[in-house]
Amino acid sequence: MLDVDAIAGFIREAAALAIVPRFRQLRQEDIREKKPGDFVTIADLEAERLLDERLMAMMPGSVVLGEEATAKDPARLGLLAGEAPVWVIDPIDGTANFARGEPGFAVILALVAHAEVCAGWIYDPLGDSMVLAERGSGAWSEGRRLAVDSEASAERLVGAAYGRTLAGPRAAKALGDSGRIGAVRNLGSSALEYSAVALGQAHFSLHSRSLPWDHAAGMLIVAEAGGLVGFLDGAPYDPRIADRAVLAAASRLAWDTVCAVVGRLA
């Protein structure tokens, strides 16, 4: 049996040791760019190491797919096609915010087995807020079962959108200018955007790439909260596919409205 609460404890511990003490305390040498605009900090590396150790010890025979380890060795993405259970870690989602000393970051963890997301956790260290789900058991936060806001009218729809449409404009601008929704609110953290949908605070989260550490946990959490999730073209979500547009929505109205305005992403 998977002890989702014990794993939530590991996440909180890693954040308390490696992330929170470094918030707004980073030195210049603690931050580097993996590629232009893509940052990693000493906190990312340390949090991933701590989680790697705890999770491997908890489930012998499992493997870890961490964002930072995969940045050094992209072939690690192949672990998702193997037989062993895979822990998928984003130690700090929203590193750019964290590196600037701004709120808007979270820890993401998912467990994937045989190409299925079995469980997911999203933790906001500043708010000490955990959202989690186990497949078939619902989505939960601090003992409360979550349900998406599936009744919102079109003019009340709010959410996040990233990527560029085939017509040229960015998805956020196309949606914002359409007059068909309430607002686009990009937080710079897919983790917090998925959490907002599951908590009933937002209605869609659209992303142009499907890197598993960014999306596996959030897609499961929104689905278990009653939302619709998948690739933008309508295909079911598959954590093995890393470069395809994904959408999570609180209702069929939200899904259809986003798709109608955005179409496909470049």
- The residue type found at 194 is Y
Position 10 confidence tier, pLDDT thresholds 50, 70, 90: very high
- pLDDT exceeds cutoff 90 at 37: no
Mean pLDDT of 118-126: 98
The number of folded domains in the chain is 2
42 and 141 belong to one structural domain: yes
> Residue 52 burial (CB < 10 Å; 0-12/13-18/19+)?
buried
pTM of the model: 0.97
189 and 162 belong to one structural domain: yes
Cα dihedral angle (232, 234, 238, 239), rounded to 10 degrees?
20
Q: What is Dmax (Cα atoms) for the chain?
A: 52
DSSP 23: T
Residue after which a domain boundary falls, among 125, 145, 165: 145
pLDDT on residue 70: 96
Token pair recorded at residue 216: 């596996």
CA–CA separation, 166 and 158 (whole Å): 22
83 and 195 belong to one structural domain: no
135 and 8 belong to one structural domain: yes
The Cα angle at residue 216 between residues 215 and 222, in degrees rounded to 5: 80
Residue with tokens 């196309």: 174
CB 124 within 8 A of CB 106: yes
Query: The domain spanning residue 31 has which CATH number?
Result: 3.30.540.10
pLDDT on residue 266: 87
Token pair recorded at residue 240: 């093995």
51 and 107 belong to one structural domain: yes
103 and 171 belong to one structural domain: no
- The residue type found at 95 is T
pLDDT on residue 193: 98
Residue after which a domain boundary falls, among 82, 110, 145: 145
Q: pLDDT of 131-160, one tens digit each?
A: 999 999 999 999 999 999 999 999 999 999
Residue 102, domain extent: 4-145
71 and 166 belong to one structural domain: no
180 and 100 belong to one structural domain: no
Residue after which a domain boundary falls, among 145, 164, 180: 145
73 and 162 belong to one structural domain: no
Task: Locate the DSSP E strands across 75-155.
Answer: 86-93, 106-113, 116-124, 129-134, 139-141, 144-145
CA–CA separation, 50 and 16 (whole Å): 11
Q: How many CB atoms lie within 10 A of CB 12?
A: 17
pLDDT on residue 155: 95
196 and 224 belong to one structural domain: yes
97 and 117 belong to one structural domain: yes
Query: The domain spanning residue 162 has which CATH number?
Result: 3.40.190.80
121 and 219 belong to one structural domain: no
CB 10 within 8 A of CB 55: yes
